[in-house]
Chains A and B, each alone.
Chain A
Amino acid sequence: MKYLSEFRNSEISKGLIEEINRITEHNWTIMEICGGQTHSIMRYGLDQLLPVKIELIHGPGCPVCVTSLELVDKALDIASRSDVIFTSYGDMLRVPGSSGDLFSVKASGGDIRVVYSPLDALQIAQNNPDKQVVFFAIGFETTAPANAMSVVQADALGLDNYSILVSHVRVPPAMHAILSSPYNRVNGFLAAGHVCAVMGYWEYPPIAERYKVPIVVTGFEPLDILRSVIMVVRQLENNTYEVENGYSRIVSFDGNISAQKMINQVYLNCDRKWRGIGLIPNSGWCLRPEYQQYDAELRFGVQYIDPEESPLCISGTILQGLKKPIDCPAFGVECTPSTPLGATMVSSEGACAAYFQYSYNNQTTV
Chain B
Amino acid sequence: MEGANCPIPNKHNEQIILGHGSGGKLTQDLIRDFFFPSFENQILAGFNDSGIIEWGNLSEEYQNCIHRIAISTDNHVVWPLFFRGGDIGRLSICGTVNDLAMVGAIPLYLTAGFILEEGLSIHTLENIIASMKDAALEAGIEIIAGDTKVVEKGKADCIYINTSGFGVIRDNIDISGANAKPGDKVLVSGTIGDHGIAVLEARGELGFVSDIHSDISPLNELVSNILNVSKNVHSMRDPTRGGLATALNEIAKQSNVCIEIDEIYIPVNPAVNSACEMLGFDPLYIANEGKMIIIVAPQDTDVVIDCLHSHKYGKDAAIIGEVTAEPAGKLLMRTSIGSRRVVTTLSGELLPRIC
Binding site for B on A (CB under 8 A): 4, 8-10, 13-14, 34-36, 39, 42-46, 48-49, 63-64, 89-94, 103, 114, 116-117, 138-140, 142-143, 194, 222, 336-338, 348-349, 356-361, 365-366
Is residue B138 contacting chain A, with contact meaning CB distance below 8 A? Answer: no
Binding site for A on B (CB under 8 A): 205-207, 264, 273-274, 277, 279-280, 327, 330, 332, 335-342, 344, 347-349, 351-355
Question: Is B327 in contact with A356, judged by CB distance below 8 angstroms?
Answer: no
Task: Output the least CB separation between A108 and chain B (Å).
Answer: 16
Output the nearest chain A residue to B350 by Cβ-Cβ distance: A90
Q: What's the count of A-B pairs with C-beta under 8 Å? A: 107
Question: Is A91 in contact with B351, judged by CB distance below 8 angstroms?
Answer: yes
Q: Give A44 to B340 CA distance when docked, in angstroms.
A: 8
CB contact under 8 A between A349 and B355, given known A43-B335, A338-B348: yes
Q: Which of A34, A36, A114 contacts B351 (CB 8 A)?
A: A114
Question: Is A10 in contact with B338, judged by CB distance below 8 angstroms?
Answer: yes
Question: Is B337 in contact with A10, judged by CB distance below 8 angstroms?
Answer: yes
Among B337, B341, B344, the one with the most A-chain Cβ atoms within 10 Å of its Cβ is: B337
Supply 30 A–B pairs (Cβ within 8 Å), ascending by A. A4-B273, A4-B277, A8-B337, A10-B338, A13-B337, A13-B338, A14-B338, A36-B353, A44-B335, A49-B339, A64-B354, A89-B352, A90-B349, A90-B352, A90-B354, A92-B354, A93-B349, A94-B348, A103-B349, A140-B355, A142-B355, A194-B355, A222-B336, A222-B337, A338-B347, A338-B348, A349-B355, A357-B342, A357-B344, A360-B342
Chain A contacts for B205, CB-based, 8 A = 116
Task: Output the least CB separation between B278 and chain A (Å).
Answer: 9
Q: Give A90 to B354 CA distance when docked, in angstroms.
A: 7
Chain A contacts for B338, CB-based, 8 A = 10, 13-14, 49
Chain A contacts for B339, CB-based, 8 A = 44-46, 48-49, 366
Chain A contacts for B347, CB-based, 8 A = 336-338
Q: Which 10 A-B pairs have the closest CB atoms?
A: A45-B339, A90-B351, A337-B347, A89-B354, A13-B337, A358-B341, A45-B341, A10-B337, A48-B339, A8-B336
Question: Is B337 in contact with A43, judged by CB distance below 8 angstroms?
Answer: no
Output the nearest chain A residue to B276 by Cβ-Cβ distance: A4
Task: Output the least CB separation between A91 and chain B (Å).
Answer: 5
Chain A contacts for B332, CB-based, 8 A = 360
Chain A contacts for B279, CB-based, 8 A = 116
Task: Output the least CB separation between A194 and chain B (Å).
Answer: 7
Q: Which of A8, A45, A90, A138 contacts B340 (CB 8 A)?
A: A45
Question: Is A36 in contact with B355, judged by CB distance below 8 angstroms?
Answer: yes
Task: Output the least CB separation between A71 and chain B (Å).
Answer: 15
Chain B contacts for A13, CB-based, 8 A = 337-338
Q: Give A34 to B355 CA distance when docked, in angstroms.
A: 9
Chain B contacts for A10, CB-based, 8 A = 264, 336-338
Output the nearest chain A residue to B207 by Cβ-Cβ distance: A116
Q: Give A348 to B352 CA distance when docked, in angstroms.
A: 9
Chain B contacts for A348, CB-based, 8 A = 280, 351, 353
Q: A4-B274, A357-B342 are in contact. List 13 more A-B contacts (CB 8 A).
A: A4-B273, A10-B337, A36-B353, A45-B339, A91-B352, A103-B349, A139-B354, A142-B355, A194-B355, A337-B347, A348-B280, A349-B355, A356-B344
Chain B contacts for A63, CB-based, 8 A = 354-355
Among A9, A10, A35, the one with the most B-chain Cβ atoms within 10 Å of its Cβ is: A10
Task: Output the least CB separation between A7 and chain B (Å).
Answer: 10
Q: Which of A8, A49, A143, A338 contacts B354 (CB 8 A)?
A: A143
Chain A contacts for B341, CB-based, 8 A = 42-45, 48, 358-360
Q: Which of B206, B277, B348, B353 contacts A39 (CB 8 A)?
A: B353
